[in-house]
Amino acid sequence: MTRSGLRSFGAYVPRLRLEREAIAAATGWASGLRGGKPNGRRSYCAWDEDSVTMAVEAARDCLVGHDRSTVSSLVFASTTHPFADRCNAGVVAEALDLNEAMHTSDAAGHQRAGVAALLEALRGVDAGNGPAVVVAAERRIARAGSEQESRFGHGAAAVLVTGGDDLAAELVGQASLRADFVDHYRGADGDYDYAYEERWVRDEGYLALVPRAIAAALERAGVATHEVAHCIVQGPQRFAQAVVKSAGLRAETVENDLHAACGDTGVAHPLLLLGGVLERAEPGALVLVAGFGQGCDVVVLRATGRRAAAGRGCSGALAGGVANREYVRFLANCGLVDVDWGMRAERDNRTAQSALWRHHRDVTAFVGGRCTRCGTVQYPRSRACVNPECRAFDTQVPERFADKVGRVKTYTEDWLAVTRSPPHVYGNVEFEGGGNAFIEFADTRPGELDVGTPVRFVFRVKDFDAVRGFHRYFWKAVPVRN
């Protein structure tokens, strides 16, 4: 029997990156530059991104080049699922247009949830389960001027866990340790983390707990400490270094924690780092991943040298950022300032759930139709073909639009329409291979579009319904950027 392992990896980090100097400049008067000299950037969500949309993008990236029909489960790990009682993984699986006959579930409640979900998936494949997608995404909000505000980043990572011969990394050992050690917490109704004193966290938490789990995992794997080539320890770099030293691992094996590039993406972060390691690990290299949060889960993997990322991967996700110093926009996107969006924002965005369910594949999976009589590809799918030369009834079969590319046919930058990032950019796009749609653009700045601009499509929040605490998702066009 082949061992279980990781067949592919995908990542997503929002395009928006805030210079930490801008945070310090805006909040230094209050924080006294808590945390030392600011360096690098932190990633943050656009107004229309959340953990679900980031998870969709990471999972799409992970599944590039893979047969989606074989996926038998999807677990979505996060402490910032947008819905407390609605299967968030179900939204992700729907957006990916995966099989109906599959398992979906959310993993939540602690920072270790991503590594824990990975471990569960590896065990599941070992037990005979089919290919599993594990996706983790995090959009943690922190108080203005707090240490977390500067340290956190928003992002997502996904892995496809399978058995078989073409793995990018295979499982060689694992161990777990439980401990109700409260280095920080966030109450069920809380908006922010409450963190305890760092030195205690390091000494009584990281150093006292993590090396024990690492030793157990290495022993089970039959691996000596000096054989480990890459160590990922969830948490700040200085803690990871201390843990590696204490565990007897080589100091140079500690992975860079990406503080300068995007910040700590929480539940997603160990997986994001793992993706980075797999892009450059030598065949046979041993990789240790230690998730930390009320205990520890350690996974030891052996890289095979096969490529894990057919899409953008970790390096591509990190490279896609655009730095800015717009601290107030950052606060607004985090929901921390109450911006006046004008009277148009009073529009009632009630969602008819019955209509959404009726059209769930059209809307969430962006599936339109293809006329079997004339071949016309069209969105949305409808009872009568849109081709004026055809107009046949009930001839359309499903056609997925989400992964197509297209070009701008018409567009505008609308300064009157309500959006949380004026101007509201929308227009008609023409899909390669046929089909047209009237659609919103995301991540697009004024002056960026022209007729003919190539576009691709991303999953985003469409509208918020503040009255009922709901928000709906749809796909948006973004310019294809090199």
Minimal distance, residue 388 CB to another protein, in Å: 5
Is residue 216 at the binding interface for another protein, with CB under 8 A as the rule? no
Is residue 423 at the binding interface for another protein, with CB under 8 A as the rule? yes
Binding residues for another protein restricted to 388-407, rule: CB under 8 A? 388
* Cβ distance to another protein smaller for residue 300 or 386: 386
* Cβ distance to another protein smaller for residue 206 or 426: 426
d(CA 463, CA 474): 9
Size of the site for another protein (CB under 8 A): 56
* Cβ distance to another protein smaller for residue 69 or 410: 410
* Cβ distance to another protein smaller for residue 223 or 356: 356
* Cβ distance to another protein smaller for residue 61 or 362: 362
Q: Which stretch binds another protein (CB under 8 A): 20-28, 236-244, 315-323, 380-388?
A: 380-388
* Cβ distance to another protein smaller for residue 3 or 361: 361
* Cβ distance to another protein smaller for residue 281 or 365: 365
d(CA 45, CA 56): 14
Minimal distance, residue 65 CB to another protein, in Å: 28
**Mode of pairing for the β-strands spanning 377-378 and 286-292:** unpaired
Binding residues for another protein restricted to 426-455, rule: CB under 8 A? 426-428, 430, 434-440, 446, 450-452
Per-residue mark of binding to another protein, 335-374 (x: CB under 8 A): --------xx-xxxxxxx-xxx-xx--xx-----------
Is residue 413 at the binding interface for another protein, with CB under 8 A as the rule? yes
Short-list 313, 268, 309, CA closest to 291 = 268
* Cβ distance to another protein smaller for residue 99 or 412: 412
Is residue 421 at the binding interface for another protein, with CB under 8 A as the rule? no
Cα Rg for the chain, rounded, in angstroms?
Answer: 23
Minimal distance, residue 417 CB to another protein, in Å: 4
* Cβ distance to another protein smaller for residue 354 or 482: 354
Is residue 419 at the binding interface for another protein, with CB under 8 A as the rule? yes
Binding residues for another protein restricted to 113-132, rule: CB under 8 A? none
Give the number of other CB atoms < 10 A from CB of residue 270: 28
Amino acid identity of residue 281, one-letter, is A
Per-residue mark of binding to another protein, 291-330 (x: CB under 8 A): ----------------------------------------
* Cβ distance to another protein smaller for residue 185 or 415: 415
Is residue 410 at the binding interface for another protein, with CB under 8 A as the rule? yes
* Cβ distance to another protein smaller for residue 373 or 409: 409
Minimal distance, residue 411 CB to another protein, in Å: 6
Minimal distance, residue 1 CB to another protein, in Å: 46
Minimal distance, residue 451 CB to another protein, in Å: 4
d(CA 325, CA 21): 8
Minimal distance, residue 430 CB to another protein, in Å: 6
Residues engaged in binding another protein (CB under 8 A): 343-344, 346-352, 354-356, 358-359, 362-363, 376, 378-380, 382, 386-388, 409-419, 423-424, 426-428, 430, 434-440, 446, 450-452, 462-463, 472, 474
